């Protein structure tokens, strides 16, 4: 298939960005979206031009590195997938495709389509863990966890930290990301002792780093490639309420 | 070179406890005085860094991704082994040890593997403690599944995302230590070289991938946890950025490289779709618990399926050849990976392949009938979804197509029992070292090894080394000439690459290398092919150094330069892999030499001449590397021919 690409180019954090137009011919519908961009970059580099920079690594939807805003949707026009899992068969011959980076105050653009998501790491450093030193844990079956609890915790823990939720939210809120972690750990007996402190610390960090407030639009859930549900935000709110009551 | 594996004396079952009671430790007040560099934030690196931080050491931790959580361990799907025997099916530490040695085709060290099996149970406990949501049964107890090469059910899992959940656990522990100030994290930072002072590892040179800035860092010890080198083959199940550069730079500074030819080809990957293919996707081995592998019995049927004249679902049962069940009745679809991969290649080469001809079926029809769609969805839902997104076919309705692909590298930096390389002060853990899997790794054992190394082995053994380093003060890179010189030589190397200004892209050359490797140093190897392969690799290397084109500058972000640096190292390592394969005149594990096969096509090992670890030493540019053999003495188990038939 033949395509026209309208891609955001920006030289560095401080530079002003702009859209550039590229054309591509003979792209196989079976290739992935990122393979299509590889073809573009091969062309650019062969012509002595700098390639379009975008983040990617595993290319199988699990590392959370890839992060493109395609035709106005985080991770493009297919559901429940990351950018790297998107295939060209979802487009038509002759299409124009607009490709932008995540746009959010908490995620500054580094270059072209690559953004800085270290704010997510900082939020987790504020308390997104269980404090257990190596070697001090008891037998794994010493803690019984009902299947439905374990499953629910797993649903919340499936987050890959890609940031699509933030990029999609009109308030650039990181609430779904925070709620996923808070919920995952709060659902497990091992995570209860720190549950309240954890929720408070992570939300405070999120606010400090310039992410917006959650107004329950639910857009995040729709674009989450891993289907993390906004029910976890409700759980977070409960933990948070508890935290405020206690302090 | 002299290799001393430093295996403790005493009975096998007591070696590790005897070692721990006799080793030197560093007292709590002194731990703060030590800087430790850990390169890598995968399961091995993150668990080691976090555990060292908890002990009070000052750790600097590096990764090339934007976040430690994105290390390639995140992609592991199926599970992690441990000898808990929760299923009461006869498992034990000894059995896990035995299966791992046997699965590795008797090319791993007994003492290391026993220790691995011994600490495996603690790993599960630790991960549960961190909140890893392993699958549970209705009673709330931990659930298990089976993996290849074992007759017991000892694999713990978190849906099809076990690596992700284990890594998030380790990443949580890492975050806790970062917040506590014990670990400083350097993300988007690539290690470019290792710095030796008087022959001892004292630091690394790094490049900031965002700014291009070169820096040096001091450490009393350096730990490489940088993963495997499967991307030498261009197409593999590894992440795009997975590379060999850190361990290759260490090799060129004097660290021995062991068994480079031991590369694992995984039987169940999604077949190649076309020329723009950038990587291959694994379909977890756990699928072989319920999926049955087959090709048509008749060539005509295979031909009809390939040309779309016949649907696989329409081929009657008696016209299908479940070749693994036929050839290996005892293990059936759960034979080890090397055996399953070769069997698939054999059928496809003989003309029975489906799809493009380079594919076989993995069929869930029976399991769906037996267990129902819900159970299958619960077990493998995310894998089925992944398959459908890539191939555009629904595996609940039509069998999956799979083909073997490069997946894991058993070879790596040679390390002794303490996980130290032949360079004093330089350690290597996880997939980057060669230690525990011999010539073939069993499924669900890499996660176990990475976490064993990082949580429970290295944090102890490194202290035995550091205890002797108390008098070494922290070095100031600005004042120590070796550090400045190391930065300068990296700068010159980068300038040289930038200066070639040829006509070819890095990827196009990498693909040529990959093809030469796959064709000549792949699943079936022979002398003439390997010799031809070495010639080809050399030619591709020359092409690279005269024709590669890297736009931009070295002093800013430059993704082409990043790739070029990695490919430059692959081009050298590829030749060493081929040389190692050429010298090893036997078939064992993932290394199959066509000249050394039994009459029924099974691998023919040669214990009389090759029961050793082959460790290669760098001798300088243009010089032949030198091989040193570390004999493998099996004191405790009897070495046998692997048999998965009965
Ligand atoms: C698709 C897939 C599925 C798998 N499934 C399973 C499974 O179910 N069970 C199992 O046991 N095993 C499985 N494996 C194998 C297992 O995942 C890996 O062997 C293991 O995770 C490797 O961990 P590691 O910590 O050694 O390295 P990695 O996780 O690869 O981490 C390497 C780290 O080193 C860093 N790094 C690398 N080079 C540099 C450099 N030059 N400079 C700075 N940093 C660098 C990276 O940033 C990264 O942080 C699977 C592998 C794959 C590819
Ligand atoms: S590249 Fe890993 S999720 Fe897309």
Closest approach atom of ligand 1 to CA B45: 25
Locate B209 and state its tokens: 């991938």
Q: Which residue of A55, A111, A158 is in closest CB contact with B66?
A: A55
Query: Which pLDDT does position B286 carry in this prediction?
Result: 84
Clarify whether residues A64 and A167 are in a common domain.
no
User: How far is the C-alpha of B304 from the C-alpha of B295, rounded, in Å?
Assistant: 12
Clarify whether residues A151 and A237 are in a common domain.
yes
Clarify whether residues A127 and A233 are in a common domain.
yes
Clarify whether residues A73 and A127 are in a common domain.
no
User: How far is the C-alpha of A115 from the C-alpha of A106, rounded, in Å?
Assistant: 10
Residues 6 or more apart from B378 whose CB is under 8 A from it? none
Interface list for B 310-339 with A (CB within 8 A): none
Can you tell me whether residue B433 is helix, strand or coil? strand
Query: Which pLDDT does position A239 carry in this prediction?
Result: 80
β-pairing verdict for B80-81 and B412-413: unpaired
Spell out the domain ranges in chain B: 267-406, 481-608
What confidence tens digit (pLDDT) does each residue in B316-354 have? 999 999 999 999 999 999 998 889 999 999 999 999 999
Question: Residue B32 catalytic?
Answer: no
Clarify whether residues A124 and A96 are in a common domain.
no
Clarify whether residues A70 and A165 are in a common domain.
no
Q: What is the ipTM of this complex?
A: 0.98
Q: How many CB atoms within 10 Å of residue B197?
A: 16
Q: Which CATH class is domain B481-608?
A: mainly alpha
Clarify whether residues A209 and A124 are in a common domain.
yes
Query: Which pLDDT does position A247 carry in this prediction?
Result: 67
- 0.80 cut: is pTM over it? yes
CATH of the domain at A69: 3.10.20.30
Beta carbons of B490 and B192 less than 8 angstroms apart: yes
Clarify whether residues A161 and A242 are in a common domain.
yes
Place of tokens 């593999």: B236
Query: Which pLDDT does position B151 carry in this prediction?
Result: 87
Give me the domain span that covers residue A28: 3-111
Query: What parts of chain A have a pLDDT lower than 50?
Result: none
R_g of chain A computed on alpha carbons: 20
Average pLDDT over residues B554-580: 98
CATH of the domain at A183: 1.10.1060.10
Clarify whether residues A122 and A93 are in a common domain.
no
Nearest residue of A to residue B164 by CA position? A62
Clarify whether residues A80 and A161 are in a common domain.
no
**Minimal Cα–Cα distance from B261 to chain A, Å?**
24
Locate B272 and state its tokens: 């190649």
Count of domains forming chain A = 2
Q: How many CB atoms within 10 Å of residue B638?
A: 6
A35 and B278 in contact by Cβ < 8 A? yes
Which 8-state DSSP code applies to residue B16?
Answer: H
Q: Which residue of B54, B276, B459 is in closest CB contact with A39?
A: B276
Clarify whether residues A126 and A107 are in a common domain.
no
What confidence tens digit (pLDDT) does each residue in B244-260 have? 999 999 999 999 999 99
**Torsion B244-B249-B250-B252 (CA) sign:** positive
What confidence tens digit (pLDDT) does each residue in B499-541 have? 999 999 999 999 999 999 999 999 999 999 999 999 999 999 9
Query: What percent of chain B shows pLDDT beyond 70?
Result: 100
C-alpha distances in Å from residue A245, one per residue of A179, A207, A239, B481? 19, 20, 10, 59
| pLDDT higher than 90, residue B295 | yes
User: Across all residues in chain B, what is the average pLDDT?
Assistant: 96
Clarify whether residues A124 and A217 are in a common domain.
yes
What confidence tens digit (pLDDT) does each residue in B94-127 have? 999 999 999 999 999 999 999 999 999 999 999 9
In short, whether B283's Cβ falls inside 6 Å of ligand 1 is no
Largest CA distance in chain B: 76
Q: Which CATH class is domain B267-406?
A: alpha beta
Query: What percent of chain B shows pLDDT beyond 90?
Result: 93
Ligand lying nearest the CA atom of residue A59: 2
């Amino acid at each position: 298939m033949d395509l026209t690409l309208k891609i955001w180019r920006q030289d560095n954090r401080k530079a002003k960005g702009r859209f550039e137009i590229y054309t591509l011919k003979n792209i196989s519908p079976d290739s992935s979206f990122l393979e299509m961009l590889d073809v573009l970059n091969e062309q650019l580099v062969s012509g002595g031009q700098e390639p379009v920079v975008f983040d990617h690594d595993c290319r199988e939807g699990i590392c959370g590195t890839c992060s493109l805003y395609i035709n106005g949707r985080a991770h493009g026009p297919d559901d429940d997938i990351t950018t790297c899992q998107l295939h060209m068969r979802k487009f038509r011959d002759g299409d124009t495709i607009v490709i932008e980076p995540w746009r959010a105050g908490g995620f500054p653009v580094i270059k072209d389509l690559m953004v800085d998501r270290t704010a997510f790491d900082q939020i987790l450093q504020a308390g997104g863990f269980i404090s257990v030193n190596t070697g001090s844990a008891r037998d794994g079956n010493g803690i019984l966890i009902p299947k439905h609890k374990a499953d629910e915790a797993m649903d919340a823990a499936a987050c890959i930290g890609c940031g699509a939720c933030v990029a999609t939210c009109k308030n650039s809120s990181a609430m779904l990301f925070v709620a996923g972690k808070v919920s995952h750990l709060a659902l497990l007996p091992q995570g209860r002792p720190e549950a309240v402190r954890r929720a408070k610390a992570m939300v405070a960090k999120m606010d400090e780093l310039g992410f917006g407030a959650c107004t329950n639009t639910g857009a995040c859930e729709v674009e989450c490639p891993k289907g993390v549900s906004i029910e976890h935000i409700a759980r977070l709110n409960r933990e948070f309420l508890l935290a405020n009551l206690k302090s | 070179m002299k290799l001393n594996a430093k295996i403790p004396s005493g009975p096998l079952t007591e070696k590790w406890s005897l070692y721990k009671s006799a080793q030197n430790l560093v007292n709590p007040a002194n731990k703060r005085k030590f800087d430790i560099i850990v390169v890598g934030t995968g399961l091995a690196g993150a668990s080691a860094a976090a555990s060292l931080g908890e002990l009070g050491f000052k750790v600097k931790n590096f990764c090339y991704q934007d976040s430690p959580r994105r290390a390639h361990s995140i992609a592991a799907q199926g599970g992690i082994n441990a000898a808990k025997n929760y299923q009461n099916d006869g498992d034990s530490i000894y059995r896990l040890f035995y299966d791992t040695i046997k699965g590795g085709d008797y090319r791993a060290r007994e003492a290391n593997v026993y220790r691995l099996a011994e600490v495996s149970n603690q790993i599960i406990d630790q991960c549960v403690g961190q909140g890893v949501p392993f699958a549970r049964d209705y009673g709330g107890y931990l659930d298990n599944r089976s993996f290849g090469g074992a007759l017991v059910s000892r694999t713990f899992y978190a849906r099809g995302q076990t690596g992700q959940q284990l890594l998030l656990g380790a990443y949580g522990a890492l975050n806790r230590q970062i917040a506590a100030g014990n670990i400083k994290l350097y993300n988007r930072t690539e290690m470019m070289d290792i710095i030796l002072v008087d022959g001892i590892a004292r630091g690394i040179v790094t490049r900031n991938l965002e700014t291009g800035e070169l820096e040096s860092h001091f450490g009393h010890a350096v730990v490489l946890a940088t993963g495997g080198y499967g991307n030498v083959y261009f197409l593999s199940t590894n992440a795009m950025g997975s590379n060999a550069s850190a361990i290759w730079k260490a090799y060129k500074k004097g660290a021995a490289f062991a068994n480079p030819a031991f590369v694992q080809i995984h039987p169940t990957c999604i077949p190649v779709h076309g020329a723009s293919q950038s990587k291959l996707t694994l379909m977890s081995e756990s699928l072989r618990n319920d999926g049955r592998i087959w090709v048509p019995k008749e060539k005509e049927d295979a031909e009809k399926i390939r040309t779309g004249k016949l649907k696989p679902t329409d081929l009657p049962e008696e016209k299908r050849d479940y070749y693994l069940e036929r050839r290996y009745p005892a293990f059936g679809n759960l034979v080890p990976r090397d055996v399953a991969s070769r069997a698939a290649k054999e059928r496809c080469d003989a003309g029975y392949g489906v799809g493009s001809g380079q594919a076989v079926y993995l069929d869930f029809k029976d399991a769906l009938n037996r267990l129902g769609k819900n159970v299958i969805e619960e077990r493998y839902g995310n894998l089925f979804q992944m398959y459908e997104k890539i191939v555009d076919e629904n595996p609940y309705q039509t069998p999956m197509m799979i083909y073997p692909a490069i997946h894991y590298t058993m070879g790596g930096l040679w390390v002794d029992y303490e996980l130290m390389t032949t360079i004093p002060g330089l350690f290597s853990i996880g997939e980057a070292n060669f230690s525990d899997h011999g010539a073939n790794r069993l499924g669900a054992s890499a996660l176990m090894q990475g976490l064993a190394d990082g949580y429970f082995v290295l944090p102890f053994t490194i202290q035995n080394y550091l205890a002797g380093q108390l008098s070494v003060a922290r070095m100031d890179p600005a004042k120590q000439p070796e550090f400045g010189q190391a930065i300068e030589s990296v700068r010159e190397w980068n300038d040289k690459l930038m200066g070639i200004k040829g006509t070819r892209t890095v990827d196009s050359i990498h693909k040529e290398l990959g093809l030469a490797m796959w064709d000549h140093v792949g699943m079936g190897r022979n002398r003439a092919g390997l010799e031809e392969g070495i010639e080809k690799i050399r030619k591709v290397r020359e092409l690279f150094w005269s024709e590669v084109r890297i736009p931009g500058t070295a002093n800013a972000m430059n993704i082409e330069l990043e790739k070029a640096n990695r490919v430059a190292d692959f081009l050298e390592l590829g030749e060493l892999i081929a040389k190692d394969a050429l010298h090893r005149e036997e078939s064992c594990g993932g290394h199959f030499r066509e000249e050394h096969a039994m009459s029924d096509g099974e691998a023919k090992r040669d214990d009389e001449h090759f029961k050793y670890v082959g460790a290669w030493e760098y001798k300088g540019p243009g010089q032949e590397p030198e091989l040193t053999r570390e004999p493998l003495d099996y004191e405790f188990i009897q070495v046998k021919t692997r048999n998965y038939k009965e």
